[in-house]
Amino acid sequence: MKTAVIIMFTLINLPYAQDALEPVISKETIAFHHGKHLQTYVDNLNKLIISSEYESMALEDIVKKAPAGAVFNNAGQILNHELYFLQFNAPDKAKKEPTGALAEQIKAQWGSIDAFKAEFEAKGTGLFGSGWVWLSKDADGKLIITQEFGASNPVAKGLKPLLTFDVWEHAYYLDYQNRRAAHISELWQIVDWRVIEMRYEQQ
Ligand code: MN
């Protein structure tokens, strides 16, 4: 007899205080975004996967295997937000520029870190509606910027996600209202490139 391991997903703890990302992201936005929006995706997924083929599956595997629909959307949003929240640190603590192998690869492909940031910002600003802009690594170690709509994540395309900006309005509306581009350009102040470099070096 096979004993099924049932996985209950839980809300990740933030590795910083709710007000640590100010003035780039307010305490109020973090409280809603992490405590309400992400919590809701976690609660929804736990209800949806009971007695389904997904109930003993790891989060990434659910995102890779689930067809378009509620399971994919809620699992995707949990994975997206975990990668998003864990890449940040307080403005005075974040490592603000990449170094080492990742920086060399960015320069090889874009010419400079600033040129990379400009394309990343443009793809985030230009994404129509709700979604995410991502930097990922492909199977050959090359970097790629993609726009993902709704809840999608690059793992669904076989890519390794490294860095992401959430461009759903709930990510910035309390602080920046309709000024998505202004929000995006401020986010570089809190991206901790130590985290992105670590993801890049992992398989
Ligand atoms: Mn979000």
- Position 160 scores a pLDDT of 98
State the pLDDT confidence band at 203, using cuts at 50, 70 and 90: confident
Convert the pLDDT of each residue in 47-77 to its tens digit. 999 999 999 999 999 999 999 999 999 999 9
Q: How far is the CA of 171 from the centre of ligand 1 (A)?
A: 5
Phi, psi dihedrals of residue 87, rounded to the nearest 5°: -90, -5
- Position 198 scores a pLDDT of 98
Report the greatest alpha carbon distance in the chain: 58
Q: How far is the CA of 53 from the centre of ligand 1 (A)?
A: 26
Residue 4 has pLDDT above 70, yes or no: no
Give the burial class of 141: count Cβ atoms within 10 A of its Cβ; 0-12 exposed, 13-18 middle, 19 or more buried: exposed
- Position 7 scores a pLDDT of 76
Give every CB contact of residue 76 below 8 A, 6+ residues apart in sequence. 63, 150, 151, 152, 153, 156
Q: How far is the CA of 31 from the centre of ligand 1 (A)?
A: 12
- Position 17 scores a pLDDT of 98
> Strand, coil or helix: what is 131?
strand
Q: How far is the CA of 170 from the centre of ligand 1 (A)?
A: 6
State the pLDDT confidence band at 200, using cuts at 50, 70 and 90: very high
Convert the pLDDT of each residue in 147-194 to its tens digit. 999 999 999 999 999 999 999 999 999 999 999 999 999 999 999 999
Element counts in the chain: helices (H) and strands (E): 9, 3
What DSSP line would sit under 12-65, residue for residue?
A: PPPSS-TTTTTTTS-HHHHHHIIIIIIHHHHHHHHHHHTTSTTTTS-HHHHHHH
CA angle (82 as vertex; 25, 110 as ends), nearest 5 = 75
Q: How far is the CA of 8 from the centre of ligand 1 (A)?
A: 21
State the pLDDT confidence band at 3, using cuts at 50, 70 and 90: low
Q: In what order do the strands lie in the sheet with 143-149?
A: 143-149, 131-137, 160-166
Q: How far is the CA of 4 from the centre of ligand 1 (A)?
A: 31
Residue 2 has pLDDT above 80, yes or no: no
Convert the pLDDT of each residue in 101-115 to its tens digit. 999 999 999 999 999
- Position 1 scores a pLDDT of 52
Is-contact 57 45, C-beta < 8 A? no
